[in-house]
Structure 1
Amino acid sequence: MADEQLDEVFVKLKDMLHSLKYGSITIIVQDGKIIQLEKQEKVRIK
């Protein structure tokens, strides 16, 4: 994976982390390369 692509992944991952209060982020890897990021968000009702 090129440094430019890796930088883009880190930016997207950082954005996802900042917007997530409860949940998870999954990194999908295929052939040693990150091909997908998935965000699952939980909504807590008090």
Structure 2
Amino acid sequence: MAKPLEVDEQWLERIADQVSGLSYGHVTITVHDGRIVQIDRTERTRFDASSQKQQAASDSIQQVKHREGQSTGESLRIVQ
């Protein structure tokens, strides 16, 4: 038979602190022998599609600049 979980005010505050402000992610509470021994928080950061497209375009420009600079010995300046 499992022991009843012992939770005091301090652990409730710790759990509330970990959950507070979490937009995407999860909080894992580890219990050993009926006592909380650990709290893990994993937070995710999500980016919208337009941010990903902008980053991909920027990466492509950097790759072109690098390749053309190597082949001609000159640096390439791109003005947007």
Smaller-chain TM-score bracket = 0.7 to 0.9
Aligned structure 1 segments of 4 or more residues deviating by more than 6 angstroms: none
5+ long unaligned stretches in structure 1: none
Return the TM-score normalized by structure 2. Answer: 0.49
User: Partner of 2:40: helix, strand, or coil?
Assistant: strand
Q: Which has the larger strand fraction?
A: 1
| Cα distance per residue 1:16-45 (max 9 Å; x no partner) | 111211000000000110000000000001
Higher relative contact order (CA 8 A, sep 6+): 1
Higher radius of gyration, 1 or 2: 2
Match of 1:24?
Answer: 26
Matched residue pairs, number? Answer: 43
Return the TM-score normalized by structure 1. Answer: 0.81
5+ long unaligned stretches in structure 2: 1-5, 49-80
Distance 1:15 1:24 in 2: 13
User: Partner of 1:19: helix, strand, or coil?
Assistant: coil
RMSD after superposition: 1.3
Matched, 1:40 2:67: no
Q: Which has the larger helix fraction?
A: 2
Match of 2:16?
Answer: 14
